[in-house]
């Protein structure tokens, strides 16, 4: 019986598909969505992928990012554990899959999706690459309201100022500033678990990230709380301390280039030695700094 169904003709196909399905489902099935309270009506959700900001109140739930599609049910359950209001608005901080993966499910749940205009452009281009037709699900996952520079939401008693600062992590990064609560969701431009990630396929820029950190320090104060795309809730001093490190590393790369060192030599020179235990592999960042400096 088993042999008949499980014919050898199908075996290679089954074996080829099996690892994909196991890794896609297996990785996510253990993920727990944990709510953390920030103020009386602001929360963030931790799961797998970018930290999700949550504003609750009479105007409905406003989510910042939505992680991966397989987690949407658990994300909505976590929201339902803190409020009975529906998710009405989703804001995407940038186009990466660990921040927008749940878009179609959130749209199905009734949410309107907002993002910088380059987020919609990049997702559309990804979906239609190689002359592919966009699926109905992909169409539903696209932001329906986009903006070029900044926009404001007035929701749940909050003034929420959303702004774009030019290319950094990607070319469609947004910062979501709850001005009265003094909390900024930074997307992946600011993160606390790794060196900056520069998505060069999406016109990202290390020096754009540096400029964004400077702007974040400028508009904030000692009481501001920063919710990073990845990592832990942070302060202005944490942003400033990373910024100091970026300036140090940038100056070292400049000096190395002035001495005629190649990228390979720079990667081998231990320029970030004292920081690597804390921040991990510097290769991507150093490569971005090097290539941007050569273009300046």
Q: In angstroms, how far is CA 29 from the centroid of its own chain?
A: 21
Considering only residues 206 to 265 of the shown chain, the ones binding Zn ion according to CB under 5 A are: none
Binding segment for Zn ion among 77-85, 100-108, 182-190, 268-276 (CB under 5 A)? 182-190
Tell me whether residue 171 or residue 188 sits nearer to Zn ion (CB atom): 188
8-state DSSP, 221:
-
Query: Any residues with CB less than 8 A from the CB of 30 and at least 6 apart, and which?
Result: none
**Minimum distance from CB of 96 to Zn ion (Å)?**
4
Could you say whether residue 188 binds Zn ion (CB under 5 A)?
yes
CB of 25 to Zn ion, least distance (A): 23
Q: Closest approach of Cβ 188 to Zn ion, in Å?
A: 4
Closest to 191 (Cα-Cα) out of 227, 216, 245: 227
- Which residues ranging from 87 to 116 are in contact with Zn ion (CB under 5 A)? 96
Q: CB of 226 within 8 A of CB of 189?
A: no
Residue 164 lies near Zn ion (rule: CB under 5 A): no
CB of 153 to Zn ion, least distance (A): 22
Of 41 and 51, the one with the shorter C-beta distance to Zn ion is 51
| Smaller CB separation from Zn ion, 93 or 272 | 93
Q: Tell me the C-alpha distance between 260 and 95, whole Å.
A: 37
CB-based burial, 109-147: b 16+ in 10 Å, e otherwise: bebebbbbebbbbbbbeebeeeeeeeeeebebbbbeebb
CB 45 to Zn ion: min, Å: 17
The residues of the shown chain that bind Zn ion, judged by CB under 5 A, are: 96, 188
């Amino acid at each position: 019986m088993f042999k008949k169904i499980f014919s050898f003709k199908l075996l290679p196909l089954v074996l080829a598909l099996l690892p994909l399905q196991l890794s896609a489902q297996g990785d996510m099935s253990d993920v727990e969505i944990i709510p953390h309270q920030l103020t009386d009506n602001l929360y963030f959700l931790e799961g797998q992928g970018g930290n999700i900001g949550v504003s609750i109140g009479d105007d409905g739930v406003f989510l910042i990012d939505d992680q991966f599609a397989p987690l949407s049910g658990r994300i909505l359950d976590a929201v339902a554990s803190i409020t009975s209001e529906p998710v009405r608005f989703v804001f995407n901080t940038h186009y990466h899959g660990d921040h927008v993966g749940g878009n179609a499910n959130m749209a199905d749940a009734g949410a309107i999706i907002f993002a910088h205009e380059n987020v919609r452009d990049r997702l559309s281009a990804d979906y239609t690459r190689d002359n592919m037709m966009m699926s109905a699900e992909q169409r539903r996952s696209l932001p329906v309201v986009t903006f070029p520079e900044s926009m404001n939401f007035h929701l749940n008693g909050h003034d929420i100022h959303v702004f774009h600062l030019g290319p950094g992590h990607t070319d469609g990064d947004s910062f979501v500033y709850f001005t009265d609560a003094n909390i900024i969701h930074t997307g992946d431009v600011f993160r606390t678990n790794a060196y900056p990630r520069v998505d060069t396929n999406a016109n990202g820029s290390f020096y754009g990230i540096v400029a964004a950190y400077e702007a974040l320090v400028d508009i904030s104060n000692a009481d501001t709380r920063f919710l990073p795309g990845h990592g832990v809730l942070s302060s202005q001093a944490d942003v400033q301390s990373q910024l100091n490190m970026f300036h140090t590393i940038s100056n070292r790369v400049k000096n190395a280039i002035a001495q005629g060192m190649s990228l390979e030599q720079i990667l081998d020179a231990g320029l970030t030695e004292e920081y690597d235990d804390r921040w991990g592999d510097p290769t991507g960042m150093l490569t971005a700094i090097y290539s941007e400096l050569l273009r300046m």
